[in-house]
Structure 1
């Protein structure tokens, strides 16, 4: 018999959802069978799959060991002895990390385990801020993601409550995200709004833009302004009004100013003289703009966080100061 004591991070969810995470090898059919047979109990009593767990509840599982043999997904963090996490901000609920270009946020199709979330979990575990044994169904999780070659701020929720709140607020577009990028040429006009429809091609791992809605396309809006120009390059700030795949890269290319280093939406011919092989794009600023009370995270409303330095800005626009 195994017993789990429900902590704050595990509370508030249905029993079946808790079991999906705590015992991933237990199928839904077997779970309902064992509930009927009283081999799954809460506080020593028979219960239903829809029961909402409360802090302090005890979940007893009279199951064979084979259901617990699968390694938990977050175990990748245990292999990291020296976490590499550049912290922009941290408190008891969230951590804002400055992801370096070249690092993936989650394991990708190539099986790369050297991920941002693994490093963050290793850091939180080693610092004593998180212990996986304290919450059977929760592990610190990322609320947003950015491409491998894009750098910048990624949000990690340290509690289940923070994760629920941030996922809802991101869905409602209550976080203002701004990016800096270096583009070829001079955007005309120097500032403006790019709005059209974006469709993702899963096979080509690329997106296409359309003036009118086509099947599978979603609205895409980017506000931009030129901050500096030097020679054949410009430094541009982009604000995402929607969060589509490759949105900034495709939008800037659509006005004749592809990102420096972007071989997918630009051309290697234009990138080659600069020796850049990845798009120069950085999620440098994040502002929380909650439309209503955000519960445990209300104290973040109106606050802006920015990265301290961006190597490619210092390289191509050394006189520009991030403020």
Structure 2
């Protein structure tokens, strides 16, 4: 029999999720079978699996050493060269600026050196994450950006950090602002409200005024910061965060994002590639405001995080609009 004592850093998670992390190769069906058969007990009693763990709780695992070992795979941290900039960091939260071209998470088994790989190795080198000691927790990214979109990504360094950030995002306690360059001159601020649904067989979405079968409501506020020569620099306030939302909304307005290979204008994209070396959409997660943060993140309430424009974007803005554009 093995006894596990829950620590402060492990509390506030469901028993079943803890066990699936502890025995990271075990199936959910196996975990629940052991709970039903009382081979796993919670504070000496039969457990359902949905109990919320507290510091000091005990788990008794009546499993053989061989069985335990067969379901436990030691976590390793792969060496990964850091390509992100640090915007903000404390004991629980890390905010980074992701460059365009970098995957947030692996999409295929061969994908290496993704943003999460780099963040884990960064924390490992700092001594703030030791997989040999953290069998039930791995730091995690709490929001994501498309591969070819740059900007702010939040990570939880601790379980408390991950849970707090996820709750703040779910409860809309933070405001996200993007900068984008679009075709055409947009002279008034406005709002787009529509439904997005995935295109079958394509990594794209379609936009409609009706919900449809799988349509998801999407809301975008936009405000022009500068316009001339047939282009507009927009600040986007993302109210919902659906896949390709900004890019699809801009295309539907008749103002596609410059450099966007899925929803943009091929001729314009080619022109910006030749003139500026732009190889991805001009879309940047520039600002994040903890507007209504409470609970564990109340110390961040009112705080603003900023990610400077990438150099190629800055060069384009200065070339089209001059150096006097206020980016907020």
TM class by shorter chain equals 0.7 to 0.9
What is the aligned partner in structure 2 of residue 107 from structure 1?
A: 106
What CA deviation, in whole Å up to 9, does each residue of 1:215-244 have, x standing for no partner? 211221111111123433321111111111
* Cα offset, 1:261, TM superposition: 0.8
Which structure 2 residue ranges, 5 or more long, are not aligned? none
Which structure 1 residue ranges, 5 or more long, are not aligned? none
* Cα offset, 1:182, TM superposition: 1.3
Q: Does 1:65 align with 2:66?
A: yes
**RMSD of the TM alignment (CA)?**
2.5
Partner SS, residue 30 of structure 2: helix
Aligned CA distance change for structure 1 residues 274 and 4 (closer, same or farther; 3 Å): same
Aligned CA distance change for structure 1 residues 216 and 33 (closer, same or farther; 3 Å): closer
* Cα offset, 1:254, TM superposition: 1.4
Q: Does 1:277 align with 2:279?
A: yes
What is the aligned partner in structure 1 of residue 194 from structure 2?
A: 196
Distance 2:194 2:36 in 1: 53
* Cα offset, 1:53, TM superposition: 2.8
What is the aligned partner in structure 2 of residue 259 from structure 1?
A: 257
* Cα offset, 1:110, TM superposition: 6.1
Aligned CA distance change for structure 1 residues 26 and 110 (closer, same or farther; 3 Å): closer
What is the aligned partner in structure 2 of residue 241 from structure 1?
A: 239
Distance 1:67 1:201 in 2: 44
Aligned CA distance change for structure 1 residues 32 and 170 (closer, same or farther; 3 Å): closer
Aligned CA distance change for structure 1 residues 258 and 110 (closer, same or farther; 3 Å): farther
Q: Does 1:302 align with 2:263?
A: no
What is the aligned partner in structure 1 of residue 9 from structure 2?
A: 9
Aligned CA distance change for structure 1 residues 217 and 34 (closer, same or farther; 3 Å): closer
Q: Is the 8 A contact 2:20 2:31 kept in 1?
A: no
What is the aligned partner in structure 2 of residue 124 from structure 1?
A: 123
Distance 2:8 2:20 in 1: 18
Q: Is the 8 A contact 1:226 1:237 kept in 2?
A: yes
* Cα offset, 1:72, TM superposition: 5.5
TM-score by length of 2: 0.87
TM-score by length of 1: 0.88
Distance 1:181 1:70 in 2: 47
Range that drifts further, 313-322 or 236-245: 313-322
* Cα offset, 1:193, TM superposition: 1.0
Distance 2:200 2:159 in 1: 31
Distance 1:280 1:29 in 2: 46
What is the aligned partner in structure 2 of residue 172 from structure 1?
A: 171
Distance 2:270 2:8 in 1: 53
What is the aligned partner in structure 2 of residue 207 from structure 1?
A: 205
* Cα offset, 1:102, TM superposition: 0.5
Aligned CA distance change for structure 1 residues 11 and 273 (closer, same or farther; 3 Å): same
What CA deviation, in whole Å up to 9, does each residue of 1:43-101 have, x standing for no partner? 6x4542434433244545433435545676963xx221543331100011210010010
What CA deviation, in whole Å up to 9, does each residue of 1:112-141 have, x standing for no partner? 122111111111111012223443322111
What CA deviation, in whole Å up to 9, does each residue of 1:145-201 have, x standing for no partner? 1100000000111222232222222122221000001112212x4321112221122
Q: Is the 8 A contact 1:39 1:63 kept in 2?
A: no
Q: Is the 8 A contact 1:180 1:236 kept in 2?
A: yes
